[in-house]
Amino acid sequence: MHKQGELNFIGIVEGAGETVARLRIFPEFCEGLMGIDGFSHLIVLYWIHLRDGEEERRTRLVFPRKHAVDVEVGVFACRSPSRPNPIGLCVVELVEVEACNLAVKGLDALEGSPIIDIKPYIPRADSIPDARAPRWTLQGPLT
């Protein structure tokens, strides 16, 4: 059964590519940031807006380029930006909270990427020490 959903973008990425990027949260969602300064890290979900085309959404098999390997895998077995729903996920370090703006380190989103959601990173829930992954994921960048 396929149902249509609706997303409400809560903000936008600014300063992408800088050491410290900014998540500018729209005023109507700013209240939702209360208490976020108690966390050192956040999980940011964002829309990969430059890969939101019909061709990219049809992608099913990819070669994970960031890992510089010659292994073809399914789109759900990697973090390719081309996917049926172009949703990105990144764990970032929270540097500063100023009104409706979050300064973060480690963001891999591009400038202007719409922000879908922000969740606190909770080590006892989000870290799996004995998790396994294919050998090819050990090459290349962390994300």
pLDDT tens digits, one per residue of 32-83: 999 999 999 999 999 999 888 889 889 899 887 766 667 889 999 888 888 8
Domain of residue 81: give its range: 55-85
Do 118 and 92 have their domain in common?
A: yes
Task: Give the pLDDT confidence score for residue 52 in this predicted structure.
Answer: 83
Overall number of domains in the chain: 2
State the pLDDT at residue 64: 78
Residue 139 has pLDDT above 80, yes or no: no
Are 93 and 118 in a shared domain? yes
In-domain check, residue 14: yes
Supply 142's token pair: 């962390």
Give me the residues paired with residue 62 across strands. 73
13 and 69 share one domain:
no
- Name which residue leads in pLDDT, 119 or 65: 119
What are the C-alpha distances in Å from 71 to residues 28, 67, 124, 132, 139? 44, 9, 33, 18, 12
- Please give the pLDDT value at position 82: 87
In this prediction, what percent of the chain has a pLDDT beyond 90?
Answer: 62
Report yes or no on 78 lying in a domain.
Answer: yes
Q: Is 0.75 surpassed by the pTM of this model?
A: yes
pLDDT band, residue 31 (cuts 50/70/90): very high
What is the C-alpha separation between 54 and 141, in angstroms, rounded? 28
Cα–Cα distance list, 113 to 51, 52, 121, 141 (Å): 11, 11, 21, 20
Q: What is the DSSP letter of 19?
A: S
Give the residue among 47, 64, 39, 67 at the shortest CA–CA distance from 126.
39
